[in-house]
Amino acid sequence: MTTKKNKLTRRNFLKGATAGAAALAIPVGTADASIWEAFFQKHFKEMTAADKVRVIKRLEEEYKEDYDRDIKIATTPAMPGVKFGYGLDLSRCIGCRRCVYACVRENNQSRDPQIQWITVLQFEKGEKGVSNLEEATKYYDPKKVPEDGHFYMPVQCQHCENPPCVRACPTQATWKEPDGIVVIDYNWCIGCRYCMAACPYGARHFNWRKPSIRKEEINPNTHYLGNRPRYRGVVEKCTFCIQRTRAGRYPACVEVCPVGARKFGNLLDPKSEIRYCIENKRVFRLKEDLNTSPKFFYFFAT
């Protein structure tokens, strides 16, 4: 009999089992129907509306059992005529990391072990080569910021138009949506971490253990492709707060920024704030030479 601690899912099976081993792992007549449904769950893009209703119902029941909270999972599709873009004013950012903390709360990131989708890097003023992310200072005292002689550059998923992570995924568990958001289906991710190796921005994070979040800290308003609770052994990352932005709201990090350094909007709208920034500021994108075409733009106000 399959227990809660040893749940067989298609995701777990694909980590290395063979078809024959899978048949032995689920003895006919002993496995509950929900286990079979999870095992044979379709790719999200292939699900019908009825499929999605069944899957969401099953997942909400599982989360209720695991977290003792009523977690609602939306499947809101991309809005037509929208391609999201992000701007960050480096001349304003003070490195306070409020964006990091707001992101953790909004997107149900693990507290132990700690996972953070946004990394704020500290550079010395005048320093060249900010694309060399590996050599930047990641650990500093946010209570002392901004420190004289330094500037700060937050880095997260760049939501590339030509994402190398998507090409690297062997199960098509990650893809680019019509509104430009690069998403992950946690039920299809097998934890191979090829996407992490392919990402030049260090924007993807692996769950080595089951994410730990206190019951009272869970955000119950989630999206299937975004901030719903993750599993042990899957990769996760920034989704431009898909649960918020597809409902017409700003990402949590944009709302919380105390100095207005973060900008967000529709790249296809010539009157949007993000388009104004791109057309009127000194804009650059990280590692442009790699031809990933990020939809995350950095700029200086002066």
CATH value at residue 121:
3.30.70.20
| pTM confidence score | 0.87
Please tell me whether residues 130 and 266 are part of one structural domain: yes
Q: Quick check: 241 and 106 in contact, CB under 8 A?
A: yes
What is the per-residue pLDDT across 32-57, written as a single tens digit (0 to 9) for each? 555 667 777 889 999 999 999 999 99
* Cα-only R_g, the chain: 20
pLDDT, mean of each 10-residue run, the chain (302 residues): 49 52 48 63 93 95 94 97 97 95 98 96 78 80 85 96 98 97 96 97 95 95 97 97 98 97 97 95 93 95 70
Residue ending a domain, choose from 56, 74, 92: 74
Please tell me whether residues 107 and 132 are part of one structural domain: yes
Burial of 271 (0-12, 13-18, 19+ CB in 10 A): exposed
Please, what's the b/e burial string for 22-32 (b: 16 or more CB within 10 A of its CB; e: otherwise)?
Answer: eeeebeeeeee
Please tell me whether residues 158 and 53 are part of one structural domain: no
Please tell me whether residues 50 and 93 are part of one structural domain: no
Expressed as residue numbers, the domain containing 62 is 4-74
Q: State the virtual CA torsion across 114, 118, 123, 125 in degrees, nearest 10.
A: -150
Please tell me whether residues 125 and 216 are part of one structural domain: yes
pLDDT (0 to 100) of residue 11:
59
In sequence order, the 6+-apart residues with CB closer than 8 A to the CB of 266 are: 81, 82, 83, 84, 85, 272, 274, 275
pLDDT (0 to 100) of residue 20:
46
Please tell me whether residues 216 and 259 are part of one structural domain: yes
Please tell me whether residues 218 and 110 are part of one structural domain: yes
Please tell me whether residues 106 and 66 are part of one structural domain: no
Total domain count, the chain: 2
Residue ending a domain, choose from 16, 43, 74: 74
How many whole angstroms separate alpha carbon 170 and alpha carbon 189? 9
Residue ending a domain, choose from 74, 103, 123: 74
Is the torsion defined by CA of 253, 259, 260, 262 positive or negative? negative
Please tell me whether residues 82 and 51 are part of one structural domain: no
pLDDT (0 to 100) of residue 139:
87
Is the torsion defined by CA of 60, 52, 39, 46 positive or negative? negative
Please tell me whether residues 84 and 70 are part of one structural domain: no
Q: Determine if the peptide bond prior to 229 is cis (ω within 30°).
A: no
Please tell me whether residues 131 and 24 are part of one structural domain: no
Please tell me whether residues 208 and 184 are part of one structural domain: yes
